[in-house]
A = this chain, B = another copy of it.
């Protein structure tokens, strides 16, 4: 059976007249008669009653037509859906990201993307950089935000652009002696109870700290370890000590804490956006588009990697 048969049967049912249905279909009447006859032979059931008053579907015809309508609707929807998916209006975007990315670039970007592409289902996976890179290479993710450029097997096939820069800052409770300071020196840090993040991506901050503190790591060894930056800020707010984390913490103003620069200024690994260029889905393309429009510098880096046309 072909879609033609369904269209013809529906037209015939609608017009109740072979001649008029054929005219509406843009064909002559005999071919329509033949196609309907073929259809009735194939289904093994008489689908239409030809009466003097007109052509009417039999109960079998009614059952057939109901299905035929749905089948043709599905076919029409197939084209529409394919077009939408191709334009990135629908689909899914699987994003892997480190928790601290929720501080700065993600809330804004995801918010805009969600509004611009309401049809795209966002699948958000908070995970350490290594794992998300592996998942991206394995095709289980579409895009990642990691601390530092992706490493590991297959990483060389990924396209990566840094998303802003980052350095180490301190966070203290409002009542803390340092609360009023714009910056804290290294020697001041050494006398404090430090609060740092643990987890797989911990090295990012810790390496920065070791660089800063040099060989004197006693303060670091006795540090309080928290699961994420939010906990760090919470603990700092309690006055427990001096929290240390990425400067993007400033993006999440929180009552009861103050942020201070740490001197000398110590760079931390950049947040890096990565994706596999080989199978770039339309949804990913739309996402990159949003990022491009939202962050001019990231957009420029993308243009450099992919060409402005993409």
**A residues within 8 Å of B by Cβ?**
1-4, 6, 42-47, 49, 58-64, 66-68, 70-72, 74-75, 77-79, 81-86, 90-91, 279, 281-283
**Judging by beta carbons under 8 Å apart, are A1 and B1 in contact?**
no
CB-contact partner of A79 in B46, B64, B82, B91, under 8 A? B64
> Which of B68, B78, B83, B279 makes the CB contact (< 8 A) with A68?
B78
Knowing A2-B2, A3-B3, A49-B279, say if A62 contacts B75 (CB, 8 Å).
no
* Whole-angstrom CA separation of A47 from B85 in the bound complex: 10
CB <8 Å contact, B45 and A82: yes
Residue of B nearest to A64 (CB): B82
Q: Return chain B residues, CB-CB under 8 Å to A281.
A: 58-59
Could you list 12 examples of A-B contacts with CB < 8 Å? A1-B3, A3-B3, A43-B82, A44-B86, A46-B86, A58-B85, A63-B85, A64-B78, A64-B85, A66-B81, A68-B78, A70-B74
The residue of chain B having its C-beta at the shortest distance from the C-beta of A72 within the complex is: B71
Residues of B within 8 A of A72 (CB): 71
Closest B residue by C-beta to A74: B71
